[in-house]
Each structure stands twice: as structure tokens, then as C-alpha cells.
Structure 1
Amino acid sequence: MTQPALIVAGPTTSGKSALALALAERFGGTIINADAMQCYRELRVITARPTPEDEARAPHALYGVLPAAVAGHVGWWREAALEAMTTSRLPILCGGTGMYLRALTKGISALPEIPEAAREEARARLAAEGPAKLHAALHPDDSAIRPSDSQRIARAYEVLLGTGRSLASWQREAPVLPPAPYDFRAILLDPPRAELKSAIATRWEAMMAGGAVAEVAELLRQGLDPTLPAMRAHGVPEVAAMLRGEITEEEASRRAIANTGAYTKRQATWFRHQELVPTAHLHRINARIAGLTQVSERNAPELFSFLHEAVDAPQHRP
């Protein structure tokens, strides 16, 4: 018998957490974080992590488990997620970091350990030159990486330094870590752009009123490397610039909302074009889940028909 596992994926502010919580309560599941930034301990408010009240309603895992001084990565997350999944009747993987989810459903390619010297050089060049200039130094195979994606650029550059090969060439090889042994079913939220845009602005106002500035101030007090993933979480660079007196609060908000909106567009495109699970195991919702009242067998019969097949059927397999 293959154990079922649900994936609740989609762009930022699409309502993944609300849906995952409703499903965890209804089916007795454990919500496992699949958002790279929500892993960081210091970033509860600015990453919109589940509240303590939400966490009390259903089991949650991998939220706030890493200090900001540590750089999380896909290999670490996969191992931690698999460990959390073994103790859950129904793992519900919730998040918008597509590469993390893909590492479970498709496996990870045979990329060797990168020497620390290569990592340090990549970080130093990124900090000194900026992502666009370092992008020009990548292997031609990695030219598809966006010139503004500093994290992937640094990763591709350290791989090139450490192995003499492009990141893309390693990723094309057969996975050294195979797909996880679960019967994965995925729910993809894909709301209209206008709904996401409005939700992003509303959430940002709530974050600023709810302690986001204090969170970023604490990060700055730690004197962390600015190239660390936590220091590049959406909203952190903008609020940091505001605290340094470089821009106004109004400008920080404008930039953060715009940058988050551009990111949700890229997320939605990625999920539309990546096959995390076979089409027959995918349920798409072209709307934003704004609250738990939307999620019931009465008002979402197609969703629950899909869920009953996903959750109940495997239990009767030989």
C-alpha cells in the first residue's frame, strides 16, 4: 500500500495556508512547510507564517526551524520533509517553493558537494558585483536563470567553480535521490492576477502593522551576510533600506508590493509549466481561498471528490 500525500501549491497570497488548514482538520493531516522563507525562525510576520492559533488547530512541521544565519537548501529541506512525513497519517505539503516540492515528487540530480571556497567566492562576487554582472559570468547553459535571481545565480556560479560544469548540466542527469515513495496528489491554486495584487497589498499593510519592521531591525542587529536567503526574503531588503534612511516607508511599501507581485507571476508560470504530479492527480482551483468558509464538501464538491479519491482509495489497495 502506498501512503497518500497531498500538495497544496500556488503563488504567494493565493490562500494555500487557509486551504491546508481546512484539509488538515477535515482529514487528520499534518501541514508540512514547503516555503523556503517560512523555514526561518526570525521571519514569522514578514513571511506570513501560520499564527500560533492556526498551529494549535492542526499539527505543523518545518515552520521557523532554521536560524536566519543558516542558508537552507533543497537537499536539507527534502530530508527534513521526509522525516516529518513518516510520522503523519496524511502529510499535507503546503508552500510555493516549487523546486522543494519537485525534489520530493521527481527526485534530486547527482550534484556533488561544492567546496566551501567556491561558495565563499560566489557570495563575495555577488555582494561586490550584484546579480546582473555575476549572471554574465555563468556558463552559457545557465543563461535561462533570470539576471535578478541572485540566489540561483550564486548557486550556479559556485557549481561552475566547484565542478567545472553548469548547474543545468547537472540537473539534466538522472536523479541520484529518487522520487519519494508516496502517492502524491496536488491541489494547485491559480487565482486571477487582480485578486493576487489586491491580496498582496492588504497583507503588506497587515505585516507593517503587525511587527515586520521590528523583525527586520532584529535581522540587521545580527549583522548577517546580506547574501543569505533570509536577508532576501520579500520585504526584508525594502524595510532594511527604510531603516537605514535610504528610502521612505511609502517607497519601501511600494517596492515590496511590486516585487512580491512580480514574484507571484513567476510562481504561477512555474507551476503551470512544471508537472509535479501526473495530470490525473492534479486538481486546479482558479480562485483565491480567502477563508476557511470556502472549503467544505457542500460548496466545493469537485475538490472533495478529488480528495476522497486521493486520501481514501490508497487505504484499500493491496
Structure 2
Amino acid sequence: MINSGVCGFRTCCLRLHCFPEKPLFLSARVSSTCRRRHLLTASSVSGAKKKEKKEKIIVISGPTGSGKSRLALELAKRLNGEIISADSVQVYQGLDVGSAKPSPSDRKEVPHHLVDILHPSADYSVGQFFEDARQATRCVLDNGHVPIVAGGTGLYLRWFIYGKPDVPKASAEITSEVYSELAEVQRNEDWDTAVQLVVKAGDPKAQLLAANDWYRLRRSLEIIKSTGSPPSAFRVPYNSFREPGDSSTTNSSHDVNTSVDTMEEPKSRELDYEFICFFLSSQRVDLYRSIDYRCEDMLSGSDGILSEAQWLLDAGLDPNSNSATRAIGYRQAMEYLLRCRHQGGRSSVGDFYHFLSDFQKASRNFAKRQMTWFRNEHMYHWLDASKPLEKVLDFIYASYHDESETLVVPETLRMRKDIRNRREESELKSYHTKNRHFTSREDCSHILDWIRRTQG
């Protein structure tokens, strides 16, 4: 059986009989030992010990399409590791293509956790991820294996490393109310109006959020509506690991970015584990090209992302209505199919290419936001994804076994965090999509035929 759960907890029990069948629901392997455990973590530094030797956890992140999943898989083979997914879409059953979920053969070869644990009708929060991922980590370590946490959901990883904030979770009703309240201004890309709306609701620090950080803006409004207080009224563990005097600390209840370059070593020792964190990326233009091709690949074949989007619609879900249907790719595909249904199962070539372009643009923008987020996450060592995989693996393998307190990335593997030359900046400004598969009317004819057969 494929190991797709977390040592026996959070197995699939969400009224699956109410939805169309899709043969992808795999139960988790049960471990009685791990069922008895609940969020056991390493203790803080004791005054009686100068230095406590902590258990090690590898964290691998990177923008969408950077190759982090393959890197994690190969690393797990070398280190006798198990992978804990930090991907907010891979938790959902049936959302395989659009989340680039590991294949059944990969999951059979290397145990994966937090993959296929929920039906798409359910919501999954960062707080629940913290609970699940910490329990999975404890299980992996108790099995004598190496936990490798891999994924690109930045807030998941921040909470996983630093701890869970005290901010209460909003109810489903309030979450829906906030999405509706901000939906139109977000569609119009009217960031300033949205910020003022949240400021008037009771959070003046919303003005300090990074432009177009819609997640944190929505979260702020959720907190205000749930508690009557702004996010700054609640404790966030991440704040205590910032440098004293950092001016961005006042904004940190939103989990906004900071410009600090390093973390104080004494504070890092207060973490539950020894986290060895890497961020895999490549030159921005190369990354964008790879993402565009990847979006095309997700539309190829008979079981692509459009087929999965159709399954979501047939299950009675609407686009942008919950966590799964807000995911990039699925939201665009569901909206496109709904337009086709309203037209009696017809789609023009232009409609298809417009959908593809929206899908690619949303994916590139997501990668850009990921890079902005992790540029300010100072636990991470940036690695160049264009370098040979074996060399990257050798370096991470050696870093895991290195007992020194300082990890230095060799210049041959180091990836710059910022654009620092005019040529690269010029290439990025002039970038435009060049499709590899879909370049003419004939290239999308099979998809238009499929739409006529299935959406009429």
C-alpha cells in the first residue's frame, strides 16, 4: 500500500460517498506507536547544558517548477528519509496534475506524509498543517529515519519551524464573508482601496503590508471580525527570532517579510529541532519559461488538469469557494469550463488560449511571490537549480552530516536572491510566453473536442 498519510492519523473519512468516484483515495498506513504520540517536541536549552544536541530536520523549498520535489525524493533515498509535504494542494485527493503530486511509484519507493489526506470539499488550514506536520516529524524520527519537509507554501513552513501563533482560527462563515467583501476589489486589482477597507475595520498596520499581499490582508480582516482585535494583539513566535530593533517587527503579526540578513545564533538554539533549510531556484527568466511549459504539460493528455477541474465541478464545488478550488490552475480551469458549459459545451480557440495565458500568468506571479517571501526567510540557504542534481545532493548530504555550526554554500552552487545586473533585468522586463505545445489552432483541437463531448 502506498504510504500517503501521517502514521495513521488524519485518514480519509469525509463522506466520500457524496461525491463522484475517482479512484485516487488511498488510506494512510496505521502506526499504533504514533497514534499514542501527540506533538512531542525537543525541549528548550537547559541551563545545565551548554549545548544540547538536537534532532535534525531538512527543509527544502523553492518556487513552483523549481525541481524541489525531485531533489527531496533523491535526497530521501540517500539519507533513508521520509518526505513530509508542505504543499497546500497536495493534501487533497484527486488534485494530482495541478499540484505536481509525486507519482504512486515514487510514493511507494519513499514514504510521503500529508499527501491525499482530505477530500477537496474540506478546508485545510496552516494551523492544522502545523499539528499534522509536527506529529509526522515525530513519527519519522522515532522510526529512525530522516524527516525531509518539502514544499513551497511559505506560511506552512514558517509555522512549522518557529511555532504556532496564538491567533484564533476564523470560522468558515467569517472566511466566506471576508472573501466576498474583498473579491471585487481584488478582481479590479485595487490594492489601496482594499487596504483602506481593512484599516477602517480596525487594523491601521494593514498599510504596512507588502503591496498585493492579499492573503495577509484577508487574514487581518478575518481576525478583526472574529475577535474584535487586530493581528498585532496576538503573540507570534516568529517575532522573537527577529533581530532587536528590526523596524518590521511591528508588522509581524501579519507574518510580513523582514529585511534582516541573519538570525542570532542563541535564538536559533531555542527552536525545537535543528532545521537545515534550503531554497532551490534558478534565474527568473529560466524559471518563468519552465513554468509556462509546465502549465502546457498539465493540459496535455486525457487526464490533465481540465479533467480534474471537471471532477471538482461535478462534485458540486464552485471555483474560488474553498482552499482546493482557490488553488492556482484549478480556479482558472473551473472558470473556463463553466464558461464552456454556459455556451452549450463550446469553446473557441481564442477562449482556450486566453485560459492558458491566465493559467501561466497566475503561476508565474505565484512563483514571484514565493521568491519574495523566502528572500526574507533567513534560515534558508539558496541553491542554484540549474546546477547538476548530483552536486546539489552531495552538498546537502554533506551538510546534514556536518557537525559544525556554520554552513557555507560554495559559490558554484549559490543562487543570488536578487536581480543584480541590467541584462537580466532587461530580459525579465521583455519576457513573453513562447508555448512549446500549443502554438496553433490544430494544437488545441483535441481539447476543444473533449470540451464538446463532456461539457455540452
Please, what TM-score do these two structures have when normalized by structure 1?
0.84
Q: Distance in 1 between matches of 2:395 and 2:171?
A: 50
Deviates further, 114-123 or 239-248:
114-123
- Preserved CA contact (<8 Å) 1:10 1:190: yes
Q: CA deviation at 1:205?
A: 1.5
Change (3 A) 1:116 1:264: closer
Partner amino acid, structure 1, of 2:69: S
Deviations 1:233-261 (A, max 9, x none): 11122212221236712111111111111
- Preserved CA contact (<8 Å) 2:61 2:68: yes
Q: Partner of 1:31: helix, strand, or coil?
A: strand
Count residues in correspondence: 299
RMSD between aligned residues: 2.8
Is 1:27 equivalent to 2:83 in the alignment? no
Give the counterpart of 1:59 among 111, 117, 128.
111
Deviations 1:141-198 (A, max 9, x none): 12345675554433221211111222344365768xx986221101111211122112
Q: CA deviation at 1:42?
A: 2.7
Give the counterpart of 1:84 among 131, 136, 146.
136
Change (3 A) 1:146 1:236: farther
Q: Name the residue aligned to 1:239.
A: 333
Q: Name the residue aligned to 1:285.
A: 383
Q: CA deviation at 1:6?
A: 0.3
**Any unmatched runs of 5+ in structure 2?**
1-52, 241-267, 341-349, 405-456
Deviates further, 12-21 or 121-130:
121-130
Partner amino acid, structure 2, of 1:217: Q
Q: Partner of 1:270: helix, strand, or coil?
A: helix
Q: Partner of 1:229: helix, strand, or coil?
A: coil
Partner amino acid, structure 2, of 1:102: R
**Any unmatched runs of 5+ in structure 1?**
312-318
Partner amino acid, structure 2, of 1:231: T
Q: Name the residue aligned to 1:189.
A: 280
Q: CA deviation at 1:74?
A: 0.9
Q: Name the residue aligned to 2:91.
A: 39
Is 1:250 equivalent to 2:358 in the alignment? no
Change (3 A) 1:71 1:146: farther
Deviates further, 165-174 or 40-49:
165-174
Q: CA deviation at 1:209?
A: 1.1
Q: Partner of 2:339: helix, strand, or coil?
A: coil
Q: Distance in 2 between matches of 1:195 and 1:310?
A: 35
Task: Give the helix-richer structure, 1 or 2.
Answer: 1
Q: Partner of 2:197: helix, strand, or coil?
A: coil
Q: Name the residue aligned to 2:204.
A: 140
Change (3 A) 1:164 1:147: farther
Fraction of identical pairs, as percent: 29
If asked which structure has higher relative contact order (CA below 8 Å, sep 6+), I would say 1
- Preserved CA contact (<8 Å) 1:22 1:295: no
